[in-house]
Chains A and B, each alone.
Chain A
Amino acid sequence: EVQLVGSGGGLVQPGGSLRLSCAASGFTFSTTWMSWARQAPGKGLEWVASIKEDGSDKKYVDSVRGRFTISRDNAKNSLDLQMNSLRAEDTAVYYCVRGVVSPGLWGQGTLVTVSS
């Protein structure tokens, strides 16, 4: 089955760190850009970061650049998002997404709550 399964969400204090992971299956992971998107509670969708097939190119939205790092392990079919210096406004459901020009597969989402 083609799927993306995200994990790693939880409650973290402002200024803290969290690492999200996404396990991909059912498709050739190493041949596609991968991305993270997020959705704050009751709000719309926001693109967060993307990484090229071989990890040689990474893109970030301005609001997370310098704080978040996207990475991948093609041998393990996994995608990560390291989130540092977290802020209340980073509270959202984070989705692992396949693709970057016409993203066609979204994971189930993992909730990150930044609060004291």
Chain B
Amino acid sequence: DVVMTQSPLSLPVTLGQPASISCRSSQSLVHSDGNTYLIWFQQRPGQSPRRLIYKVSNRDSGVPDRFSGSGSGTDFTLKISRVEAEDVGVYYCMQGTHWPRTFGQGTKVEIK
């Protein structure tokens, strides 16, 4: 199985400051169709996961532009340019290229 490794697992951030989460995969996530299926989810307390980013860097409709995704191959990053109070929650990366689909352990973002 493809192992997805996130860091850090806990991220205390000051309001208005940037935040960055790393996600590394044990195998390349480039699919045979040429796409790279790396997804980022946000899970607020008590809620279902919400997709933020798909195919590495494509932001979902309604997702604030302070969220951005980047990377390639096996190394990916989610950045929040200026953290707001509503960004508190756990962030997961997931790969949709190989079976079985696998997730990172999750990164808990909290306000200092």
Q: Please state if B96 and A59 are interface contacts (CB–CB under 8 Å).
A: no
Say whether A44 faces chain B, with CB atoms less than 8 Å apart.
Answer: yes
Say whether A103 faces chain B, with CB atoms less than 8 Å apart.
Answer: yes
Q: Please state if B97 and A103 are interface contacts (CB–CB under 8 Å).
A: no
Q: Please state if B96 and A103 are interface contacts (CB–CB under 8 Å).
A: yes
A35 to B103, CA, bound (A): 14
**A/B pair count, beta carbons within 8 Å:** 53
Give the number of chain A interface residues (Cβ < 8 Å). 21
Query: Which of A44, A102, A108 is the most central at the interface, judged by chain B CB atoms within 10 Å of its CB?
Result: A102
Q: Please state if A47 and B100 are interface contacts (CB–CB under 8 Å).
A: yes
Q: Please state if A59 and B50 are interface contacts (CB–CB under 8 Å).
A: no
A103 to B106, CA, bound (A): 17
A61 to B100, CA, bound (A): 6
- Mark B98-112 against chain A: 1 for CB-CB distance below 8 A, else 0: 011111111000000
Say whether B54 faces chain A, with CB atoms less than 8 Å apart.
Answer: yes
B interface, by DSSP: helix, strand, loop or mixed?
Answer: loop
Within the complex, the shortest CB–CB distance from A97 to chain B, in Å, comes to 9
B29-62 contacts to A (CB < 8 Å): 31, 35, 37, 39, 41, 43, 48-51, 54-55, 60
A103 / chain B contacts, CB cutoff of 8 Å: 39, 51, 94, 96
Give the number of chain B interface residues (Cβ < 8 Å). 25
A47 / chain B contacts, CB cutoff of 8 Å: 100-103
Say whether B92 faces chain A, with CB atoms less than 8 Å apart.
Answer: yes
Q: Please state if A101 and B48 are interface contacts (CB–CB under 8 Å).
A: no
**Chain B: residues with CB nearer than 8 A to chain A?**
31, 35, 37, 39, 41, 43, 48-51, 54-55, 60, 92, 94, 96-97, 99-106
